[in-house]
Amino acid sequence: MDTTIEQAVGILRRNQLKITKQRQALIDYLVTYKDHYVAISEVDEHMRTLFPGMSHNTIYRNVKEFETLGLLELKAQANQTLVKYQCDFKHQHHHHFICSNCGKVQELDACPLDAFEAQLPGCTITGHRIEFYGLCADCTAKLGASKSLSK
């Protein structure tokens, strides 16, 4: 068995969650999304081909449970929620570069938190999200686009 999967199953176990065949299959599937986001609704669809008649509720509930365990990252989008597998369970800061063409997600290090903290005296910073959008190197090599508006 893949070490990544064993790790995930271990986390379930340590949190007293039962290892059902549905959860096992869900992990097996989500593990393939380490550097892309998938819509939960697509996960739902996939799971229901593996387990015809599987309840939507079960799928959505598990995805959210997995997120609170740190197994997944969720990301809100218009009308949809996206999921991505979280392979590095210990790494807390996640700054992403997301290719708007192919959807590939690249991790960035270097966190400029300090520079911003100084601007927020008296505040409690509990989290932050930094995301860049554009075209990854591969896609930059092939594409282009434009638009204009008067203001």
Known binding-site residues for Zn(2+) equal 99, 102, 136, 139
Residues in the chain: 151
Phi-psi region of 2 (alpha: psi -120 to 50; beta: other; left: phi over 0): beta
Give yes or no for residue 53 binding DNA (CB under 7 A): yes
CB of 75 to its own copies, least distance (A): 8
CA-nearest of 29, 34, 112, 89 to 63 is 29
Query: What is the C-alpha to C-alpha distance for residues 66 and 84, in angstroms, rounded to an integer?
Result: 11
Question: Of its own copies, DNA, none, which one sits near residue 127, judging by CB under 5 to 8 A according to partner kind?
Answer: its own copies
102 interacts with, out of its own copies, DNA, none, CB within 5 to 8 A per kind: none
Distance CA 118, CA 120 (A): 6
Rule CB under 8 A: is residue 81 a binding residue for its own copies? yes
Mark the segment that binds its own copies (CB under 8 A) among 17-25, 31-39, 51-59, 93-101: 93-101
Q: What are phi and psi of 25, to 5 degrees?
A: -65, -35
**Out of 29, 92, 97, 142, which residue is the one contacting its own copies (CB under 8 A)?**
97
By the rule CB under 7 A, 29 interacts with DNA: no
Looking at this protein, which amino acid is placed at residue 75? K
Q: Which residue has the tokens 């932050």?
A: 128
* Nearest approach, Cβ of residue 56 and DNA (Å): 4
Q: Which amino acid is at 3?
A: T
Residue from 14, 18, 90, 129 touching DNA (CB under 7 A): that is 18
User: Strand pairing partners for 95?
Assistant: 108, 130
The residues binding its own copies (CB under 8 A) are 11, 14-15, 68-70, 74, 76-79, 81, 89-90, 95, 97, 99-100, 106, 108-110, 112, 115-116, 119-137, 139-141, 149-151
